Amino acid sequence: MARSTYYAWRQHRQQPCVNPPLSRAGRPRRGYWFTDTGTKVPEGQVVEWLSTYIATPDGQSYGYRKLTTWLRREHHLVINKKSVYRLLAEADLLQGRRFPIAADRPVRRLAANHTITGPNQLWELDLKYGYIAGQDRFFYLCSVIDVFDRSILGYHIGWTCTAQQALRALQAAVVARRADWTPGTAPVVRTDNGPQFVAHAWAEGVAALDLVHERIPNATPNKNAHIESWHSVLEADCLGNQVFRTLAEAYDAVAQWITFYNERRMHGSLDDWPPAVFYRWVLAGTAPTIRAVHC
């Protein structure tokens, strides 16, 4: 070794580092994409679109490149193929992993037509996205609604919504209502085909709760009309008229509004009574008569 090389190395080791190496973590994930008209679309919504499309006969044959083209054409999304690959990989939706054989997927029970005449017969569960302006990120709200009395029975709010987190919202609903239904007559749980609801963890958790899970056909949001309607009310009365700086602010505002909705907000389908009040009257046998719900 040349003497100059040794002394240069020693001097380098003895001096503090003036310019430390930059972190290789990269910039934080944005968590959303834009459409060609400038509308922000949350990451979770993109994954839901992909999951629903891949479950169709048309989408099962496509890889991430053609799915990128589909997102651009169908949803006018400005997104590149590398981002789509990452989303598919994280959701375990890459072809050859998620759908190798039919037996690898939980059995899909399609939503049947129901006539709902009382509480705890059919629950609907779905996701809603809210925006945190102070952090330029979207958060998830996963909620469970009783189709008959329209009560919100459980919910999850957070930066993510995995199958396990959605399951905790369902578990909260079961804890709140299990004592009120007759053994052997547990509610049917209805969802769409989002990645949370096709996961093995979700199927196993629902089975452990002794509930029946059914999924609506693709492109039929009307089969989940009651939770979709609640989301529109939530957007109009809570999310759409205030700006959140942090997730904690959003959590407090949404939680307080859900309490207001359940306990005090008049509901047109319940003869203008709040859901919680109407439910207590149903249990006592003194509730006003309302029409059966067909869905």
pLDDT digits (tens, 9 = 90+) for 102-122: 445 666 788 888 999 999 999
Nearest to 218 by CA among 107, 57, 62, 85: 57
Task: Please provide residue 154's backbone torsions phi and psi, each rounded to the nearest 5 degrees.
Answer: -165, 155
- At 11-40, the pLDDT tens digits run 777 776 555 555 555 666 788 999 999 999
Distance CA 176, CA 172 (A): 6
Pairing label, strands 77-78, 32-35: antiparallel
Is there a single domain that holds both residue 136 and residue 197? yes
Residues β-bridged to residue 122: 188
Which one is predicted more confidently, 173 or 185? 173
Together in a domain, 8 and 26 = yes
| Shared domain check, 186 and 65 | no
Q: How many domains does the chain have?
A: 2
Q: Is the pTM of this model over 0.85?
A: no
Residue 14 belongs to a domain: yes
Do 144 and 290 lie in one domain? The reply is yes
User: Does residue 273 belong to any structural domain of this protein?
Assistant: yes
Q: Are 174 and 90 members of one domain?
A: no
**Does residue 110 lie in a domain region?**
no
95 burial level (CB within 10 Å; 0-12, 13-18, 19+) = middle
Mark whether 100 and 126 lie in a shared domain.
no
Percent with pLDDT over 90 in the chain: 71
Whether residue 163 is found in the same domain as residue 273: yes
Mean model confidence pLDDT for the chain: 89
Question: What pLDDT is stored for residue 228 in this prediction?
Answer: 95
Amino acid symbol at 148: F
Shared-domain flag, residues 208 and 155 = yes
Residues contacting 130, CB < 8 A, separation 6+: 138, 139, 141, 239, 244, 250, 254
Query: Which of 105, 123, 138 is where one domain is finished?
Result: 105
Residue 188 lies in a domain: yes
Q: Output the domain CATH number for residue 282.
A: 3.30.420.10
DSSP 132: E
Same domain? For 53 and 128 the reply is no
> Of 79, 105, 131, which residue sits at a domain end?
105
User: How many residues are listed for the chain in this entry?
Assistant: 295
**CA pair distance 288, 278, nearest whole angstrom:** 8
Q: Which domain holds residue 38?
A: 1-105
**Tens-place pLDDT, residues 151-166:** 999 999 999 999 999 9
Span 47-57, mean pLDDT?
88
Percent of all residues in the chain with a pLDDT value above 70, rounded to a whole number = 91
